[in-house]
Amino acid sequence: MTLIPRPSHNPFNLRVILCCLLLVALQTAAAGGSVTGRPAQIISGDELVLLESGGGIHRVRLSGIKAHPPNQPWGAAARRHLQALVLGRSVTLYYRSTEQTPEVRGQLKHGGADINIRMLSAGLAWLDPAGLSPAEVEEYAAAEQRAQAAGLGIWSDVGREAQPRSIRVPGGPQFRIRP
């Protein structure tokens, strides 16, 4: 009878393989990618729920912009505007990373148009440069400046108290928010 040597199961080798797989997965997540789907719910002017074509569900925060929550001045208008732009339509979300949070941050496009910039251009969101490249910051800042110059949305005389960098707290003093 000939004995065939059994391969040894070295736990060290298994750990090395698992670590390599983990590093590859982390690099892939950090590199980002794109997801195509349809918005199922618009939560606010900068947040939505996306039903991925492949069946996944993602809570998405639009990168590069901030909008008031629906219960604050101009928040409901921002939410309605985002609904009009994307609800029920096929969109593509370009994201850099999913980080370690349940929400994904990214740039939303429909028909080639950058929805994040359209929210800025309508005066219903303001620039939040965190996570943007220098070129994107310039592009987003230009859209915000055009809305300011035209007096749209939060940049209008009517919206003056809702402007992001000069907000009045009901019954409290005015304070400034640093961008």
DSSP string, 26-69: HHHHHH-EEEEEEEEEEEETTEEEEEETTS-EEEEEETTEE---
Task: Write the pLDDT tens digit of every residue in 148-169.
Answer: 999 999 998 765 666 665 444 4
- The pLDDT, as a whole number, for residue 96 is 81
Distance in angstroms (rounded) separating the CA atoms of residues 122 and 136: 18
Which two tokens mark 92? 């593509």
Q: What is the spatial distance between Cα 70 and Cα 97, in angstroms, rounded to a whole number?
A: 27
Is 123:148 a contact under the CB 8 Å cutoff? yes
Buried residues in 154-176 as b, exposed as e (16+ CB within 10 A) = bbbeebeebbbeebeeeeeeeee
pLDDT in tens, 42-68: 999 999 999 998 889 999 999 999 999
Q: Are 140 and 120 in contact (CB under 8 A)?
A: yes
Structure tokens at 84: 């009009």
9: which residues sit within 8 A by CB, 6+ positions away?
none
Walk me through the domains of the chain, giving residue ranges and CATH numbers. Answer: 32-175 (2.40.50.90)
Find the range with the poorest average confidence among 9-18, 36-45, 109-118. 9-18
pLDDT band at 179 (very low <50, low <70, confident <90, very high): very low
At a CB cut-off of 8 Å and minimum separation 6, what does 97 contact?
A: 29, 30, 31, 32, 105
Least confident of 3-12, 103-112, 165-174: 165-174
